[in-house]
Chain A
């Protein structure tokens, strides 16, 4: 017998880890990350641990993703019902230092990996038309700019664009949405939060203060539930008021 699973990429840390922990009560999870120790750590914090499957894969290796995910689905006899793409790397650099190699690295992890995974999950001979929900963890930087975030913003905008078209292409069977978080306390933002001037700036910029990973996980839970059955094709900003704030600094 096959069982429905929720695939979460980037599940070893930050937002992806929190989503996994929070969904573990009433979802079977397929947790993907390149960091196997981190994945195990996530699993120890999950409920119903024996129900979940760990998939160690570096999403930078885009060309091996299709074979790997197909193998897991067939061998473990599972079906993927929800796909949450939370894996992402950030690169901050001046535009004049960008080259194809570092652009490809960030695009492979943040964007192309999702493309490869979804194309497998849509194949009837593999996933039996089971996919019902896709959620991309995008960023407010897909809509707004910041110095040095040229590549990161581009990857997230690419996810938003993919989401819009898939929402139309895959309706009514599958709903597809993007969550656009503002600053959330995660290992990715940790380096910036060590700098007191940045922390002070965040305080001014975020009317509700910085976010917690659980704020994002709560929205994911809502988007996977029937309570959001009429929501698809949306860039949903969740940023403590950051993008609404036009106050003079």
Chain B
């Protein structure tokens, strides 16, 4: 998961993300950014999440939880 968080920091173009950071508040956030995150999750964890799932996660921490839950399935 650490490697993914590093990638997430790269996509959002910040040096460090915190678990309670709100995805929509990142300066880099737009629809294409969210598609980059979805594609990265697909490549790293081999499952897809929808744009709605990503949006409704809200925070970085919830997104990580969502990935952990889906990874176990």
Contact = CB atoms under 8 A, between A and B. Distances in A.
Interface residues of B, number: 14
Interface stretch (B15-23, B34-42, B56-64): B34-42
The B contact surface, by secondary structure, is: helix
Nearest to A102: B43
B36 A94 contact: yes
A92 interface: yes
Given A191-B50, A191-B51, A97 B36 contact: yes
B67 interface: no
Interface residues of A, number: 11
B65 to A, nearest CB: 22
B43 A92 contact: no
Interface in A87-101: 91-94, 97, 101
B20 to A, nearest CB: 23
Interface of A: 91-94, 97, 101-102, 105, 147-148, 191
29 contacts: A91-B39, A91-B42, A91-B43, A92-B32, A92-B35, A92-B36, A92-B38, A93-B32, A93-B35, A93-B36, A93-B39, A93-B40, A94-B11, A94-B35, A94-B36, A97-B11, A97-B33, A97-B39, A97-B40, A101-B43, A101-B44, A102-B39, A102-B40, A102-B43, A148-B32, A148-B35, A148-B36, A191-B50, A191-B51
